[in-house]
Amino acid sequence: MTAARSPVSAHLVEWSTDQLRARLGEALTVYVTAMRYPMSTVQQRAPMWLSHMVRPGWRCTVALGGDGSLLGIGYGYLGAPGQWWHEQVRRGLVAVRGRHAANEWMTDYFELTELHVRPDMQGHGIGESVLRRLLDGVSARRVLLSTPEGPTKAWRLYRRVGFGDLLRDYLFAGDPRPFAVLGRELPLEPPDRD
């Protein structure tokens, strides 16, 4: 386990599947509060998060406060045919951008599945620190993600680090909100140092 500092004195740590399992309830609570989902979503999403942990290339980075509390979490894995998100996004890309674009983007990519920061800790650089640490050393050529549409701190983060639009106003099953699917080449450029 390695640690580094983020701008609000949070420690960045890579978690194993066992470490995430041990604190899954806390991690899911960060997720539902950041996404503004009902708390009942914690129990609904737990099996999905557990199934993601066994996928090839799975990795997880968390930000911990000085007291050990979970401030932020990011995880993902290598995207592949047959995965629900892959199939949903591929279908959308074929419809909007054509088969060639879908084939190009949906091959050799890391799916940034979750990236969430506790609402009271947002805006302090934790999300970007977790994102950069999570993607450092990923073997895929690209990274893809989906995020709710709208002017949010997450949007500003993704734009700042160079994510571009692949799909806009996309509807995933089970969520009435429109989402954007964003992507970019890897690796990320180093952060700007003013």
Domains in the chain, please, with CATH? 3-185 (3.40.630.30)
Burial class (CB in 10 A: 0-12, 13-18, 19+), 23: middle
Q: Quickly list H helices, 36-125.
A: 41-52, 84-97, 99-105
CA atoms within 13 A on the CB side of 181: 21
> pLDDT, tens digit, for every residue of 81-115?
999 999 999 999 999 999 999 999 999 999 999 99
CA atoms within 13 A on the CB side of 67: 2
Rounded mean pLDDT of the chain? 93
Alpha carbons 123 and 109: distance in angstroms, whole number: 28
> pLDDT, tens digit, for every residue of 44-93?
999 999 999 999 999 999 999 999 999 999 999 999 999 999 999 999 99
> What confidence tier does 191 reach under pLDDT thresholds 50, 70, 90?
confident
> Known catalytic residue: 158?
yes
Catalytic one of 31, 75, 158, 170:
158
> Average pLDDT of 144-173?
94
Give whole-number Cα distances, 79 to 3, 85, 89, 144, in Å: 27, 8, 11, 9
> pLDDT, tens digit, for every residue of 18-36?
999 999 999 999 999 999 8
